[in-house]
């Protein structure tokens, strides 16, 4: 329905944003007409939520006195990017050289995570992580903390301070790791319950039961995860599955009675809506069917999967089974906080698998697709009326090369493709959270 332009009052508008707008209304693989592009549009906000998206020329004179206007004419505004899987404690060990998953965990990851027993260290890294999220246009993340409850307090507190939308949890791991990082089934249960009470649904925070991965969790601990979900059915569940072939073989030895790696989690009731599994590279047809039926989501982590030599995720197979898929950085195995750079690598992973990745599908994955994977699409992911106004302001030509390339592009699709292949933090002019500007290219606000 088209709204006829008319004067707005303060009850319907306290903030307006002028720019070109692109957002998705559906999955481009499913619905033909899946996006809306508004050249020189005006996004009308009230109390951090979308009121409407209209043509600026028709509405600009009707803004009420006292409303704020962000003038981003010539820039492209998209919904804030959604990172469906990452590890904030691995921020400072990103780009550690030379191993595949299991050795990488032992050599770099576990020692780095040990330091999060110290709350001051956790606070410092949590602040750095959130700054970097904002610098890259990411406004929602699903995050692993460490085994230490204080590491969860640190990231939720910082997200709350910045109004970021965050899914996070205490890592649960009671075996096959250094003693200094282990909890027990009982202690992880008690600590998780306490953290749920402290943080779940506080502001924009959501708690995720977070078993690290099956090799680090005893049967008793996986049982506890299922119990937590049974007692608190609105919680999230996040973990890793079928990332690396040595890992898959190890899980088969540890859980000889289970049909597959995914079946281990399924057995303990850990597959369902709001379950998010990173990687899912080495799944078979039955696993995929099970993922789809359960409503669980896959976090596609292309930079991480290439960096650790884990393998090529099959996006087309996931689409054929109608599984929810979101994009993920998986820092610190992932090599960039940038969702643009993550899309660049995603495109190459798909190309190596003999498939394409259209720019429409790519930016869908980074926005609405991620929101759907986290079952947050009633709140974020596009500019539908009532949604929380998280958005990123993109400069498509911050360098001479990108200017030259964009000058050759004749369609929106071409410009989006050049953006995802060449773009990075230089393209992020500003990031807004609940309407409010939290980052501009050269400084935090």
The contact set with Zn ion (CB under 5 A) reads 278, 330
**Out of Zn ion, ligand GUN, none, which partner does residue 341 contact, by CB within 5 to 8 A per kind?**
none
| Pairing mode, strands 205-211 and 171-172 | parallel
Contact 170, 151 (CB under 8 A): yes
Q: How far is CA 36 from CA 22, 26, 53, in A?
A: 6, 10, 10
Q: How far is CA 163 from CA 22, 139, 155, 160, 279, in A?
A: 23, 9, 12, 5, 28
Binding flag, residue 266, ligand GUN (CB under 6 A):
no
Q: How far is CA 110 from CA 100, 116, 195, in A?
A: 14, 10, 22
**Total residues contacting ligand GUN (rule CB under 6 A)?**
11
Contact 43, 100 (CB under 8 A): no
Q: Which one-letter DSSP state was computed for residue 336? A: -
In the list 213, 313, 383, 417, the residue contacting ligand GUN (rule: CB under 6 A) is 213
Q: Which is nearer to ligand GUN, 109 or 138 (CB)?
A: 109
Beta-bridge mates of residue 304 = none
Report d(CA 395, CA 387) in Å as an integer. Answer: 24
Q: Taking CB under 6 A as the criterion, which residues in 60-89 touch ligand GUN? A: 87
Q: Which is nearer to ligand GUN, 205 or 304 (CB)?
A: 304
Residue 191 class from Cβ within 10 Å (0-12 exposed, 13-18 middle, 19+ buried)? middle
Q: Which is nearer to ligand GUN, 241 or 393 (CB)?
A: 241
**Out of ligand GUN, Zn ion, none, which partner does residue 432 contact, by CB within 5 to 8 A per kind?**
none
Q: Which is nearer to ligand GUN, 109 or 136 (CB)?
A: 109
Binding flag, residue 333, ligand GUN (CB under 6 A):
yes
Report d(CA 56, CA 418) in Å as an integer. Answer: 26
**Out of Zn ion, ligand GUN, none, which partner does residue 109 contact, by CB within 5 to 8 A per kind?**
ligand GUN
Binding flag, residue 243, ligand GUN (CB under 6 A):
yes
Q: Which string of DSSP letters, residue by residue, matches 200-261?
A: TTSTTEEEEEEE--GGG--HHHHHHHHHHHHHSTT-EEEEEES--HHHHHHHHHH-TTSSSH
Binding flag, residue 27, ligand GUN (CB under 6 A):
no
Specify the 3-state DSSP secondary structure of 25: coil
Q: Which is nearer to ligand GUN, 42 or 133 (CB)?
A: 133
**Out of Zn ion, ligand GUN, none, which partner does residue 222 contact, by CB within 5 to 8 A per kind?**
none
Binding flag, residue 288, ligand GUN (CB under 6 A):
no
Q: Which is nearer to Zn ion, 266 or 330 (CB)?
A: 330
Q: Taking CB under 6 A as the criterion, which residues in 302-321 touch ligand GUN? A: 304
Q: How far is the CB of 252 from ligand GUN (least distance, A)?
A: 16
Give the sign of the dihedral formed by CA 346, CA 347, CA 348, CA 349: positive
**Out of Zn ion, ligand GUN, none, which partner does residue 213 contact, by CB within 5 to 8 A per kind?**
ligand GUN
Q: Do you find a cis peptide bond into 332, omega within 30 degrees of 0? A: yes
Of the candidate spans 33-41, 101-109, 356-364, 394-402, the one that interacts with ligand GUN by CB under 6 A turns out to be: 101-109
Binding flag, residue 151, ligand GUN (CB under 6 A):
no
**Out of ligand GUN, Zn ion, none, which partner does residue 101 contact, by CB within 5 to 8 A per kind?**
ligand GUN
CB atoms within 10 A of CB 444: 13
In the list 23, 170, 240, 438, the residue contacting ligand GUN (rule: CB under 6 A) is 240
- What are the residues binding ligand GUN (CB under 6 A)? 87, 101, 105, 109, 212-213, 240, 243, 304, 330, 333
């Amino acid at each position: 329905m088209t709204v006829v332009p008319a004067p707005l009052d303060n009850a319907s508008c306290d903030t307006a944003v002028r720019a070109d707008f692109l957002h998705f209304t559906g999955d481009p693989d499913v619905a033909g007409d899946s996006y809306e592009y508004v050249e020189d549009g005006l996004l009308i906000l009230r109390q951090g939520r979308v009121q409407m998206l209209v043509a600026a020329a028709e509405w600009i004179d009707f803004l009420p006195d006292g409303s704020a206007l962000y003038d981003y004419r010539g820039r492209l505004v998209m919904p804030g990017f959604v990172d469906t899987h990452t590890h904030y404690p691995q921020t400072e060990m990103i780009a550690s050289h030379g191993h595949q998953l299991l050795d990488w965990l032992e050599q770099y990851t576990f020692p780095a995570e040990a330091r999060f027993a110290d709350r001051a260290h956790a606070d410092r890294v949590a602040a750095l992580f959130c700054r970097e999220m904002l610098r890259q246009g990411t406004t929602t993340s699903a995050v692993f903390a460490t085994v230490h409850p204080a590491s969860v307090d640190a990231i939720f507190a910082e997200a709350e301070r910045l109004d970021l939308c965050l899914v996070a949890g205490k890592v649960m791991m009671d075996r096959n790791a250094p003693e200094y990082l282990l909890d027990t089934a009982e202690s992880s249960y008690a600590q998780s319950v306490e953290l749920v009470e402290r943080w779940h649904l506080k502001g924009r925070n959501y708690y995720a039961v977070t078993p690290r991965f099956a090799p680090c969790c005893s049967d008793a601990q996986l049982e506890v995860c299922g119990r937590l979900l049974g007692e608190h059915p609105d919680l999230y569940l996040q973990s890793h599955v079928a990332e690396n072939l040595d890992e898959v073989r190890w899980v088969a030895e540890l859980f000889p009675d289970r049909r597959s790696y995914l079946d281990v989690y399924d057995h303990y009731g850990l597959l369902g809506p709001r379950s998010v599994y990173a990687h899912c590279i080495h799944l078979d047809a039955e696993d995929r069917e099970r993922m789809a039926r359960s409503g669980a989501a896959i976090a596609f982590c292309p930079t991480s999967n290439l960096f650790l030599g884990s393998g090529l995720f099959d996006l087309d197979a996931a689409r054929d089974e109608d599984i929810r898929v979101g994009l993920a950085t998986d820092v610190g195995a992932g090599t960039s906080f940038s969702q643009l750079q993550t899309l660049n690598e995603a495109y190459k992973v798909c190309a190596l698998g003999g498939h394409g990745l259209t720019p429409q599908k790519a930016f869908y994955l980074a926005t609405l697709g991620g929101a759907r994977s986290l079952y947050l699409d009633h709140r974020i992911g596009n500019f539908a009326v009532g949604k929380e106004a998280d958005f990123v302001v993109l400069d498509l030509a911050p360098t001479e090369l990108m200017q030259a390339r964009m000058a050759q592009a004749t369609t929106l699709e071409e410009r989006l493709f050049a953006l995802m292949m060449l773009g990075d933090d230089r393209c992020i002019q500003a990031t807004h959270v609940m309407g409010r500007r939290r980052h501009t290219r050269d400084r935090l606000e």
